[in-house]
């Protein structure tokens, strides 16, 4: 059976491949990766015995240009286009379609059948996308429909975007095509590909020997660590440097070896593992890593992890504001985006304070600089201080240091201890920061946006919040109304939450029935927009057809109404403290109990495939 690697540009496509494969039973492995991340996955797996790769759109084109394996593109079908256009039909603002010409042609035909006014922006290469989006903005286009790279770039540039997701028929066709391609292009893979993957500039020392002690590979880093020229290297000389460098008994037994050794003044971690060399002969791969290199790498990883969260993804155009109250919030926020003064945002949990802060940052002169955030409720005082200031001894930068030139968003600022409030005052007044444990003072240029569920006046009056810090932060105030005071926004929020759920769970839901929407509009929503998002995603999980039907989700609506009758609208109340993951686990556990742990019945009720259900059950069991 041919071995197929599927690189899905989005999570929903992965879930759909796994679901389809429940019936087809192909030998597939599915990973999620878009563009260059997808290319990295392909390169990582290129020598693992795969016969063909399946991907989609621009990612498939990129893989075709850079991979040795044949690549099959998941074609966008007319059904895929029809589902997407049906979902957005009736949207009041101008809609553009941006993709390659074959998709444009299909969208043109379907759009005419649906009597939709669409503007088309064809592209031939990735380089054309940004220019076409600027053209769309000039034409007052508000929503871009298209492939992954077009919609991603459009979203980054401030437009709403909807990805044309692939349906079951497109996935089945791609798998059939992959089998055909693999049949005609399958070629012999040899162990010599292992040597081709070992490059001389690898950052660690690499030494490969066969069972007789003949040196097959000695890279530049190993040569430097051993202080031994390649042409003079023999197993006897290696043993003279350190006995562990010679061929070990592990080559015969298959046992891996890990040792810490001293070598030519360096502390080195030696890793040995058995490999195949020259056909079937066993041999050993030795990797040499200096402790100093590992420490430097760990520092870089920590900095990279910090920077991953340093980009604001929300723009004002992403925020739903059909209601007068939210229109006023957006108008005020746009004015404050022109300022560099600190800003206070008030709003109940789930109202979207973080999203608004990102939009303000992206509309400001700091938009090309980092956006960092911290929730003061999520950490104890020690960890909050570490995250804010960093640590000199651990080589961990704080968010003020990383965000230099950009914006720091501090949520639940009223939870800061008085001692940390004093340090924040110094940062605001001196515009300098120093890491804990001996760090030098570093000048910083950072705008602070702070948020809290309710006014800080009570905390100031009770002595739990410093009055001078309150006035330093109060360069402007925005109050986000709760969802129950902006019900005009709910229909549009439902639409975009369906778009998000489709991508996440691999569904192709195109809308929500009117009677369901009316129930949602009348609900009290103590958890605000976040609670609505959770409810829509929950309904999408249980929906099997193209529309969210009342009969499928009535139990959730009745449960919501019942909870509302027993729970007053108290400001600061969260959704029972549950995250998306916790809610998902609760749903699965409840349905398992109702179906007497019959996984086939549970999967059918949840609208997911059995393999997905099995993985989620295992995750629940591991966390119990």
Give the model confidence (pLDDT) of 12-70 as tens digits: 999 999 999 999 999 999 999 988 899 999 999 989 989 999 999 888 988 999 998 99
- Residue 193: predicted pLDDT: 46
pLDDT in tens, 396-406: 888 999 999 99
pLDDT in tens, 181-205: 988 876 554 444 444 454 467 888 8
DSSP lists the bridge partners of residue 258 as 271
Which has more pLDDT, 311 or 484?
A: 484
Q: Give me the percent of the chain exceeding a pLDDT of 70.
A: 88
Per-residue pLDDT at 76 exceeds 90? no
Domains 193-291 and 489-623 share a fold: no
Residue 226 and residue 263 in contact, taking contact as beta carbons nearer than 8 Å? yes
Maximum pairwise Cα distance, the chain: 83
CB atoms within 10 A of CB 511: 18
Secondary structure (H, E, C), 545-571:
CCEECHHHHHHHHHHHHHHHHHCCCCC
Q: How confident is the model at residue 214 (pLDDT cuts 50, 70, 90)?
A: confident
Per-residue pLDDT at 131 exceeds 80? yes
DSSP lists the bridge partners of residue 3 as 27
Helix (H) or strand (E) holding 55: strand 52-55
Per-residue pLDDT at 452 exceeds 90? yes
Q: Give me the percent of the chain exceeding a pLDDT of 90.
A: 50
- Coil, strand, or helix at residue 26? coil
Q: How confident is the model at residue 581 (pLDDT cuts 50, 70, 90)?
A: low
Q: Give the burial string for 334-347 (b: 16+ CB within 10 Å, else e).
A: eebbeeeebbbbbb
Which has more pLDDT, 274 or 451?
A: 451
Query: How far is it, in rounded angstroms, from Cα 63 to Cα 292?
Result: 36
Q: Which CATH superfamily is domain 309-481 in?
A: P-loop containing nucleotide triphosphate hydrolases (3.40.50.300)
Topology of domain 489-623, CATH: Helicase, Ruva Protein; domain 3 (1.10.8)
* Helical spans, DSSP H, in 217-282: 220-226, 235-241, 250-253
Per-residue pLDDT at 575 exceeds 50? no
Pairing status of strand 447-452 against strand 547-548: unpaired
pLDDT in tens, 412-422: 999 999 999 99
Query: How far is it, in rounded angstroms, from Cα 415 to Cα 119?
Result: 49
pTM: 0.62
Query: How far is it, in rounded angstroms, from Cα 19 to Cα 607?
Result: 10
Query: Comparing C-alpha atoms, which of 318, 319, 326, 316 is closest to residue 486?
Result: 326
Question: Does domain 193-291 bear CATH number 3.40.50.10330?
Answer: no
- Residue 65: predicted pLDDT: 92
Per-residue pLDDT at 118 exceeds 70? yes
Q: What secondary structure letter does DSSP report for 172? A: H
- Residue 421: predicted pLDDT: 94
Provide the sign of the torsion angle of the four alpha carbons 25, 31, 34, 38, taken in this order.
Answer: negative
Per-residue pLDDT at 574 exceeds 80? no
Query: How far is it, in rounded angstroms, from Cα 37 to Cα 11?
Result: 13
Q: Could you tell me the two tokens for 125? A: 């290469």
Per-residue pLDDT at 298 exceeds 70? no
Q: State the chain's mean pLDDT as an integer.
A: 85
Could you name the CATH architecture of 3-74+169-189? 3-Layer(aba) Sandwich (3.40)
Flag the least confident range among 103-107, 150-154, 587-591.
587-591
- Residue 248: predicted pLDDT: 60
Say if residue 266 is exposed, middle or buried (CB neighbours under 10 Å; 0-12, 13-18, 19+): middle
Q: What is the mean pLDDT of residues 528-555?
A: 92
Q: Could you tell me the two tokens for 441? A: 């003072």
Q: How confident is the model at residue 487 (pLDDT cuts 50, 70, 90)?
A: very high
459 backbone dihedrals φ, ψ, rounded to 5°: -65, -40
Could you name the CATH architecture of 87-161? 3-Layer(aba) Sandwich (3.40)
Query: How far is it, in rounded angstroms, from Cα 402 to Cα 479?
Result: 28
Per-residue pLDDT at 620 exceeds 80? no
Residue 259 and residue 274 in contact, taking contact as beta carbons nearer than 8 Å? no
Residue 81 and residue 164 in contact, taking contact as beta carbons nearer than 8 Å? yes
User: What's the start-to-end Cα distance of the chain, in Å?
Assistant: 38
Write down the domain spans for the chain. Answer: 3-74+169-189, 87-161, 193-291, 309-481, 489-623
- Residue 296: predicted pLDDT: 63
């Amino acid at each position: 059976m041919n071995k197929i690697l599927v690189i899905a540009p989005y999570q929903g496509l992965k879930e759909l491949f796994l679901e389809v494969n429940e019936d087809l039973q192909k030998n597939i492995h599915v990973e999620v990766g878009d563009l260059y991340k997808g290319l990295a996955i392909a390169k990582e797996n290129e020598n693992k015995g795969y016969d063909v790769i399946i991907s989609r759109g621009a990612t498939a084109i990129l893989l075709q240009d850079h991979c040795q394996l044949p690549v099959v593109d998941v074609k966008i079908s007319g059904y895929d286009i029809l589902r997407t256009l049906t979902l957005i039909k009736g949207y009041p603002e101008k809609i553009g379609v941006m993709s390659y010409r074959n998709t444009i042609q299909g969208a043109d035909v379907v759009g005419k059948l649906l009597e939709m006014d669409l503007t088309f922006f064809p592209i031939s290469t990735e380089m054309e996308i940004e220019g076409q989006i600027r053209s769309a903005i000039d034409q007052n286009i508000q929503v871009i429909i298209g492939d992954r790279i077009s919609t991603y770039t459009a979203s980054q540039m401030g437009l709403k975007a909807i990805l044309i997701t692939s349906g079951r028929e497109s996935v089945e066709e791609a798998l059939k095509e992959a089998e055909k391609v693999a049949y005609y292009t399958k070629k012999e893979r040899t162990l010599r590909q292992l040597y081709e993957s070992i490059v001389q500039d690898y950052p660690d020392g690499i030494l490969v020997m066969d069972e007789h002690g003949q040196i097959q590979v000695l890279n530049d880093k190993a040569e430097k660590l051993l202080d031994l020229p390649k042409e003079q290297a023999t197993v006897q000389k290696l043993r003279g440097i350190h006995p562990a460098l010679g061929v070990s008994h592990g080559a015969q037994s298959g046992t891996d070896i890990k040792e810490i050794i001293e070598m030519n003044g360096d502390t080195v971690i030696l890793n040995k593992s058995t490999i195949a060399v020259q056909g079937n002969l066993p041999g050993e791969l030795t990797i040499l890593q200096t402790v100093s290199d590992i420490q430097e790498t760990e520092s870089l990883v920590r900095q990279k992890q910090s920077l991953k969260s340093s980009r604001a993804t929300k723009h004002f155009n992403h925020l739903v504001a059909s209601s007068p109250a939210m229109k006023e919030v957006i108008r005020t926020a746009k004015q404050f985006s022109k300022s560099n003064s600190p800003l206070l945002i008030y709003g109940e949990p789930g109202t979207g304070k973080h999203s608004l802060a990102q939009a303000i940052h992206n509309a400001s002169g700091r938009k090309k600089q980092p956006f960092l955030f911290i929730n003061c409720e999520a950490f104890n005082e020690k960890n909050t201080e570490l995250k804010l200031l960093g640590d000199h001894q651990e080589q961990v930068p704080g968010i003020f240091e990383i965000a230099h030139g950009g914006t720091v968003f501090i949520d639940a600022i009223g939870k800061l201890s008085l001692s940390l409030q004093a340090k924040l005052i110094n940062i605001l007044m001196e515009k300098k920061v120093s890491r804990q444990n001996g760090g030098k003072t570093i000048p910083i240029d950072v705008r602070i946006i702070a948020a809290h569920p309710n006014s800080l006046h009570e905390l100031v009056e009770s002595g739990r919040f410093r009055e001078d810090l309150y006035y330093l932060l109060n360069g402007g105030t925005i109050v986000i109304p709760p969802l129950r005071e902006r019900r005009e926004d709910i229909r549009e929020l439902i639409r975009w939450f369906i778009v998000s759920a489709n991508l996440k769970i691999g569904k192709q839901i195109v809308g929500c029935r009117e009677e369901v929407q009316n129930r949602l509009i009348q609900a009290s929503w103590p958890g605000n927009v976040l609670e609505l998002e959770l409810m829509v995603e929950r309904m999408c999980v249980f929906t099997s057809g193209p529309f969210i039907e009342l009969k499928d989700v009535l139990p959730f609506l009745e449960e919501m109404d019942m909870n509302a009758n027993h729970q007053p609208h108290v400001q600061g109340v969260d959704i029972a403290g549950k995250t998306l993951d916790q809610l998902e686990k609760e749903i699965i556990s409840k349905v398992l109990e109702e179906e007497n742990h019959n996984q086939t019945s549970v999967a059918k009720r949840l609208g997911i495939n059995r393999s997905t259900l099995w993985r989620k059950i295992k995750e629940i069991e591991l966390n119990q």
